[in-house]
């Protein structure tokens, strides 16, 4: 017999690899939940009635606000370092005010979605205008205005995005024309010469790029919303079918219970009938084994007034021996003779009220009695 000791279980390296970075996973989940929370925005009572796209917009808005507040603060602190301090103080004042609005929108729980989104758009537009007025017709200003137009579409709808695009284009075009015509000079640094054709071309390129991106995003959102609506309809159909199935199962269960009750009642009735027939059969056997026609006739002679008595004779006309016993029990009554079929007809007449079967085994022991008037008891 093998007496080797069992080998102790070895640790699973895959499980260890899954358990080691658990704190990192928890931290990454916390960070993701902080940036993109799954629940609707606090204080927005209409989130539960909005479609899926609106809830996605709410999550994106809150994520942008929190990211913007965090990195905006870091950027402002870095820009305020003494050895990097080449920014005019007016910019710090404007950026600080805009950053305060971002913090307010990110963490004020009672603000509605539309107010939060408007604050974010206002901040982006203000930063874009500050960049344009301070540093001129630069690439940063163009990118900021493009981000402003796309953000309006992302947070609201195509109409708001189009209005934001028109506002950004009008701002870029007006400031660009002023700079090109010499009517305005950037506040921070003078820029290179800007011609009117360059300003117009830049605005047209800006319109084409941002407009195409807006159109693509709008089509994507429309398709996503249609897919979500289709999924919602399919889910509602599945739930309706499930409710119908449950209803049918309940009805079928009720029908089966009713059928089971009926079957049980029929079984009980059958058992009761069987008991009755058994008792009747036992009683009949008792009568057949103990009582003859003479025993019954002795009781009837004393109990009822017999008016007539008919007996059945064989076709040969010979009188059976049982008739002598009938005459002894009814000496005052004459026996009326009936042939076999005549006796059958008389015994099956409608006025026959009672038929008594006995244990008599002698032949032609059939007796048809006619009851007279029963006198009232004095």
Which residues 6+ apart lie within 8 Å of 186 measured at CB? 133, 134, 135, 136, 179
Angle at 343 between CA 341 and CA 344, to 5 degrees: 60
What does the pLDDT read at residue 106? 86
Q: What are phi and psi of 309, to 5 degrees?
A: -140, 125
Sheet bearing 367-371, strands edge to edge: 335-338, 306-312, 367-371
What does the pLDDT read at residue 33? 63
The DSSP H or E segment spanning 193 is none
List pLDDT tens digits, range 290-337.
678 888 888 888 888 888 999 999 888 888 888 888 888 888 888 898
Q: What are phi and psi of 368, to 5 degrees?
A: -115, 115
What does the pLDDT read at residue 217? 83
Q: Which of 147, 141, 149 is nearest to 194 (CA)?
A: 141
CB contact at 8 A, 368 and 349 = no
What does the pLDDT read at residue 13? 47
What does the pLDDT read at residue 189? 62
List the structure tokens of 212: 């195409």
Q: Which residues of the chain have pLDDT under 70?
A: 1-51, 81-88, 189-193, 283-290, 375-378
List pLDDT tens digits, range 212-247.
888 888 888 788 878 888 888 888 999 999 999 999
Q: What are phi and psi of 241, to 5 degrees?
A: -65, -40
What does the pLDDT read at residue 264? 92
What does the pLDDT read at residue 263? 92
In the DSSP assignment, the letter for residue 376 is P
What does the pLDDT read at residue 297? 84
* Three state DSSP letters for 50-119: CCHHHHHHHHHHHHHHHHHHHHHHHHHHHHCCHHHCCCCHHHHHHHHHHHHHHHHHHHCCCCCHHHHHHH
List pLDDT tens digits, range 122-132.
999 998 888 88
């Amino acid at each position: 017999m093998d007496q080797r000791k069992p080998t102790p279980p070895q640790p699973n390296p895959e499980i260890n690899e899954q358990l080691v970075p658990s704190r990192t996973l928890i931290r990454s989940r916390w960070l993701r939940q902080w940036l993109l929370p799954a629940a609707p925005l606090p204080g927005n009572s209409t989130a539960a009635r909005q479609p899926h796209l609106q809830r996605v917009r709410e999550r994106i808005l809150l994520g942008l606000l929190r990211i913007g507040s965090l990195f905006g603060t870091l950027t402002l602190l870095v820009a305020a370092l003494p050895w990097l301090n080449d920014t005019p103080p007016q910019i710090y004042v404007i950026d600080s005010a805009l950053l305060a609005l971002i913090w307010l929108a990110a963490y004020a729980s009672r603000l509605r979605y539309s107010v939060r989104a408007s604050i974010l758009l206002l901040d982006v537009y203000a930063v874009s205008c500050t960049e344009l007025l301070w540093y001129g017709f630069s690439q940063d200003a163009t990118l900021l205005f493009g981000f402003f137009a796309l953000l309006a579409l992302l947070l609201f709808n195509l109409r708001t995005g189009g209005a934001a695009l028109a506002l950004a284009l009008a701002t870029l075009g007006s400031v660009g024309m002023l700079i090109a015509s010499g009517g305005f000079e950037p506040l921070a640094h003078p820029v290179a010469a800007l011609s009117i054709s360059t300003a117009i071309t830049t605005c047209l390129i800006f319109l084409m790029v941002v407009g195409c991106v807006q159109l693509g995003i709008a089509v994507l959102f429309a398709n996503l919303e249609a897919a979500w609506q289709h999924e919602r309809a399919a889910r509602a159909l599945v739930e309706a079918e499930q409710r119908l199935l449950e209803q049918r199962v309940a009805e079928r269960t009720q029908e089966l219970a009713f059928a089971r009750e009926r079957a049980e009642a029929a079984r009980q009735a059958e058992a009761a009938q069987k008991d009755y027939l058994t008792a009747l059969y036992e009683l009949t056997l008792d009568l057949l084994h103990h009582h003859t026609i003479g025993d019954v006739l002795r009781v009837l002679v004393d109990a009822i007034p017999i008016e007539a008595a008919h007996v059945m004779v064989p076709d040969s006309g010979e009188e059976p021996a049982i008739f002598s016993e009938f005459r002894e029990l009814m000496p005052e009554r004459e026996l009326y003779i009936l042939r076999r079929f005549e006796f059958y007809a008389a015994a099956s007449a409608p006025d026959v009220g009672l038929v008594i079967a006995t244990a008599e085994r002698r032949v032609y022991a059939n007796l048809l009695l006619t009851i007279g008037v029963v006198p009232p008891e004095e």
